[in-house]
Every structure is written in C-alpha cells, then in structure tokens.
A and B are shown apart, each in its own frame.
Chain A
Amino acid sequence: MANDLMFEKPLVELQKKIEELRSFSEQSGLDFSEEIRKLEEKADSLASHLYDDLSPWQRTQMARHSERPTTLDYIKGMCTDFLELHGDRAFGDDQAIVAGIAKLDGIPVTIMGHQKGRDTKENIARRWGMAQPEGYRKTLRLMKQAEKFRRPVICFIDTSGAYPGIASEERGIGEAIARNLLEMAALKTPIICVVTGEGGSGGALALGIGDRVYMLENSIYGVISPEGAAALLWKDSGQAQRAADTMKISADHIHSFGVVDGVIKEPEGGAHKDNEATIANVRETIVTALRELLEIPTDVLVEQRYQKFKNMGHYANG
C-alpha cells in the first residue's frame, strides 16, 4: 500500500492489525470475532473522523494521488464507441492531452482532457499531463469540429499547469491558452467541464470555459500551485501546506466563490478508493447537465456563458 497518504497512516495500521488478527484466527482456529468487531468499529469511526474534514493540503494530496481515475478512465468508464483523435494539424500530437468523439448516454459528444500516466514511462511520454501549445491547439481543433456538428463538448481538467519549457514558449503557449479561452467563450455548442484532480493555473483554465463547470470533492483549482505560492510568499516551497490553506483552492471554497457550478461527491477516502463509483457520480452529473443544456437555444446558451464569466471578480466601484 505504497500509495497511502501520510495522514491516513493510523487508519492503515489499524486495518493491517484487523487483517493480521483475522488470518491468525483462521490459522489457529481461535475465535477473535468480538475483538475484530471492536477494531472494525474503531476503524470506521477513525475513517469518518479522518475524511470528514480534510484540510486543503490533504485534499491536494488526494487530488494528486497516482491511482486517481484519469481522463481516459472517465471516458472509457462512462462512454461507448470512443475514438481517440490525434494532432493539431500544425505541429504534432501532444500526449499530455487526449481527445476524441464518443457516445455518452446515447448522445455523440466531443470529449477530452489532460492525461497523466500510470507509471513513470507513461508519465514521461505524457509529461505528467502538462501540455504544450500543440496539445491545446488539438483541443481547439476538435472543439471547432464539435461546433460544426453542434456536438456538445466535455472537458476533464487534471494538470499542474502548462509545460514550462523552451519549446512551449517558442511555439506560443500563452497564445495557445488565450486562443482557447476566447474560442470556448463563444463556442456555439454546450460545454461541460469537470476538474477531476489538479486544476493548475492557465493550463487548467484553457479547458475550463464551460456552461457548467464542476469540481470533484477532493480536487483543487488555483491560480498557482501551493508550492509556487509558498515560494513566492515565504521563499520556501516547503510551506506548501500553509499556502494550500491561504490560497483557498479546495472545491468547497471555489464553489462558495461561485466560480464552479457544483461539487461532485467522492467515495470515502477519495476517488481512488473506488474508481467505478467515482466515475458513476461524474457521469450522472454530466448527463443531467447535458440534458438541460441541450434544451437551451444556442444564442441564449452562449450569452449566459458570457455573463457567467463576466460576473467573476470582486471590486469596489469607488
């Protein structure tokens, strides 16, 4: 269980003890059922105590958990007939983002998202889900294609940010993100976005202009990573835990700010404890929203999307 999080340690140890007692009971033929029951009760209450009120930093660790469902898990888990489509038609195919067409609840959709890998090799190929300009340009190409056929667009957001490198800057990562923001704002077809893990800065926002935007319960969404904020604020990236609190990046905060439309529940202990249940929750939210959005005339839809983002901000008018 190498992927357990630090704060889960007491619970993991307790569960280990229960397992040991159970196998000892089987081997020895002695009855420990009463002891086991008591320990299980204790584990349950510990779990609810542990997961009931997670700190922003604990949620950050969950959001980054390597066994959390990825975009491809969501797509394959909730859609049929998925065809992955490749390339930006200008430079290349960025594997940090996957995209394609599929059927969701019988409706053809264009579906895409940042893709993290399951192991180091895959993560290197996918740059840990940090896209370069051609990744965003691939999504834009497919969004314009979706618009042509009035096909809804679904975006999964899970990236610590756009890839910071020479090639990214040479090929205009700023322009690529900006172009997505502009085109998504005006796209004449419904857009639904879900922050599934890390929603890091402009690289996340570039897939985040939707008629409905949701966050998973333990996902994060911020203008800068906790580590980055800590480095700027206290010249110490080790203070990330403190920065996670200060920056108010957890789903409940972002929802209370009106920046996202809803928060999707995760199984106890996080999405990675039960991928199937998580995917089912996400599917249900998307399908419900999709059915609603398909009823709205396109011009009304686009104007509502504009007004929604226009209203984001806090200022004093003098």
Chain B
Amino acid sequence: MLKDLFHKKKQRYATLTSQDVAERLGRTRTAPVEVSVPEGLMTKCKHCGEATFTKELEKNLKVCPNCGYHYTVNAMERILMTLDEGRFFEYDADMTAMDPLGFPEYPAKLEREMKKSGLKEAVVTGEGTIGGFPVVLGVMDSTFFMGSLGSVAGEKITRAIERAIAKRYPLILFTASGGARMQEGIYSLMQMAKTSAALAKLHEEGILYIAVNTYPTTGGVTASFAMLGDLNIAEPGALIGFAGRRIIEQTIRQKLPDDFQTAEFLLKNGMLDMVVPRKDMKQTLATVLELHGGGARGE
C-alpha cells in the first residue's frame, strides 16, 4: 500500500506547529492583515452582517457560521487546514522576482508586498500528506501582489509539477490570483504556456492533478493551470473567470447575471466537477486520492 510506503518515509517531514509553518514561510506574524478576519473579539460578516466571535470564526475555518460565507485564507492557513498535522516540506522558498522590463517602481512595489504579506511571492509550493497520501501542493496567496502570476510563480509551479512527475506524487494546486503580473510584461504571459506545458507532461505520466479554485481565480491563471485538473474543484462563492467584469460590461453594454463568474455559475455551466465547502475540502481530497490509489498510475 502506498500509505504504508509513505509511513516508512515519514521521518523526512518535520511535524510543525502553526508557528513553525509561519516561520518557515518567512512570516513575522501569524495573523495576516486586511483581507483576513480583523483582530478583535467579534467579527461582523461582510456578507450577512451577523457578528461572530472571532475565535469561533477561526475554529470554523474562517467560514461564517450563519451564512456560510468563505473568508479569504492565506497560504499558511490553507496549508495548515489541508495537510496532515501541518507537516510541510517547502520547495524553492527563497525564489524572488526580478525586474526584466525595468518597469517603473516594480522593485519598490515588490518590497512593499513582501512586507505587507510576509511572503516572498504569490505561491508557496512543497509537499506533505493528506489522509496519509503524499502530495505535491501549491497554494497561491492573494495577499501578495493580488496573487498575480509572474516569473517566480510560474517557475515554482513548473518545478512543483516536475517534482510531482519525478516522485510520482499527485499534484494539488489551490489557485487565487488577480491574473497576470503586468509588471513582467510578456514574461508573465509566458508563465501560462510554461505551466500548461508541464501539466501536459504530468497528465501523460498518468499522475493525478486536482485544481482547487478559490477566491479570486481570474485572468491568466484561469486560462492555464486552474482549469486543467483531472478534477476542477472550487470553494463556494469563489470568483472564477477570465475577463474582468468591468471589461465585459464595457464591451457588451449589458447587465451581467448576479451569479456571474461565481463557482456556482461555473458548476452550472459545466466548467467544474464540484463545489466543495471548506469544512469538507480535506476529506474530499483524501477520498479522491484514495479513489486514485494514491494518485499515480501504476507502472
């Protein structure tokens, strides 16, 4: 059994607490700013307005107990709620962006984004286990530069795919992105090509890939790895689309449907396999892995 195989190797993984993961990811603080639930005793839901104890909200995986609204979670929180016991071995932790176009103020903006988010780039990649099954995991974080896809995210994801192929581990990518990183111009566009090309190899090798679309998955990420899973899954209410709402409205001069570009809209239109609430995500992933005998076709 793959499960048994894994247990023999498990010494390779450090068992981390959330504080350890935080340090590993270069964070100076465990609670992220802005996008996340504000600090304080009570949190008022942005969706239904109901006040909830912040502690209760966090225990509920940052989902409103009243209406089910899914708050944005950062990469570290996602890793903790997805992998077994926070065991995570990070890849390419120190890779950082350059400024290939000499784009005005890009280096300064990168520095600000790093300070603000405590991250070095918009994706964290590595490996761990889910329900005992080893997986290669990539998690995008929209608190860094809107989760935009630049050379670093493209390279880290491509390397993660190549490692999944080499180790014959399944691949899971949680996407969250405002789209391409304009500041890297054509290089950012080419990251769509590069990651998709690597996924072509992965699929040819018979290795499972699960794409989990979270709020927001847009632009170049939607038009590449977010839509190329054997299973495309999304969190409830997640914004998923290619073109921006404003551009579409300007082009067609027509009101867009209320549920336009939501996970439910994509499910209805046949673009997703499932919409899975956060509380069920880990178990669902474990079941999919189980159904695929761990996630790699036997040789």
Supposing A224-B180, A313-B191, A314-B98 touch, asked if A306 and B201 sit within 8 A by C-beta, the answer is yes
Q: Does A185 contact B271, Cβ atoms closer than 8 Å?
A: no
On B, residues with C-beta under 8 Å from A are: 92-98, 100-101, 103-104, 120, 151-152, 154-155, 158, 180, 182, 184-194, 196-201, 203-204, 219-220, 222-228, 240-244, 247-248, 251-252, 254, 256-257, 260-261, 265-266, 269-271
Q: Does A165 contact B252, Cβ atoms closer than 8 Å?
A: yes
Chain A contacts for B193, CB-based, 8 A: 181, 185, 205, 208-209, 309, 312
Q: Does A318 contact B227, Cβ atoms closer than 8 Å?
A: no
4 smallest beta-carbon distances between A and B, as pairs: A318-B94, A185-B197, A174-B222, A313-B151
The residue in chain B whose Cβ has the minimal distance to the Cβ of A127 is: B251
Q: Does A314 contact B252, Cβ atoms closer than 8 Å?
A: no
Nearest chain A CB to B91 CB, angstrom units: 11
The residue in chain B whose Cβ has the minimal distance to the Cβ of A136 is: B223
Output the residue of B151, B203, B224, B260 with the most chain A CB within 10 A. B224
| From B101, B151, B242, contact of A162 by CB (8 A) | B242
Q: Does B185 contact A247, Cβ atoms closer than 8 Å?
A: yes
A223-B184, A233-B182, A306-B197 are known; give 19 further A-B pairs, CB within 8 A. Answer: A165-B243, A166-B248, A166-B256, A170-B265, A172-B271, A174-B227, A174-B241, A181-B192, A182-B228, A185-B196, A186-B201, A186-B204, A201-B220, A202-B220, A205-B192, A259-B187, A310-B158, A312-B194, A313-B152
Q: How far is the CA of A97 from the CA of B227 in the complex (A)?
A: 22
- Main secondary structure on B side of the interface with A: helix
* Count: A-B pairs, CB below 8 Å: 189
On A, residues with C-beta under 8 Å from B are: 162-166, 168-175, 177-179, 181-183, 185-186, 201-202, 205-206, 208-209, 221-224, 228-229, 232-233, 246-249, 254, 257, 259, 305-306, 309-310, 312-318
Q: How far is the CA of A229 from the CA of B80 in the complex (A)?
A: 37
Nearest chain A CB to B114 CB, angstrom units: 13
| From A168, A172, A313, contact of B243 by CB (8 A) | A168
Q: Does A173 contact B223, Cβ atoms closer than 8 Å?
A: yes
Supposing A174-B223, A174-B241 touch, asked if A257 and B247 sit within 8 A by C-beta, the answer is no
Supposing A165-B252, A174-B227, A248-B186 touch, asked if A182 and B200 sit within 8 A by C-beta, the answer is yes
Chain B contacts for A205, CB-based, 8 A: 189-190, 192-193
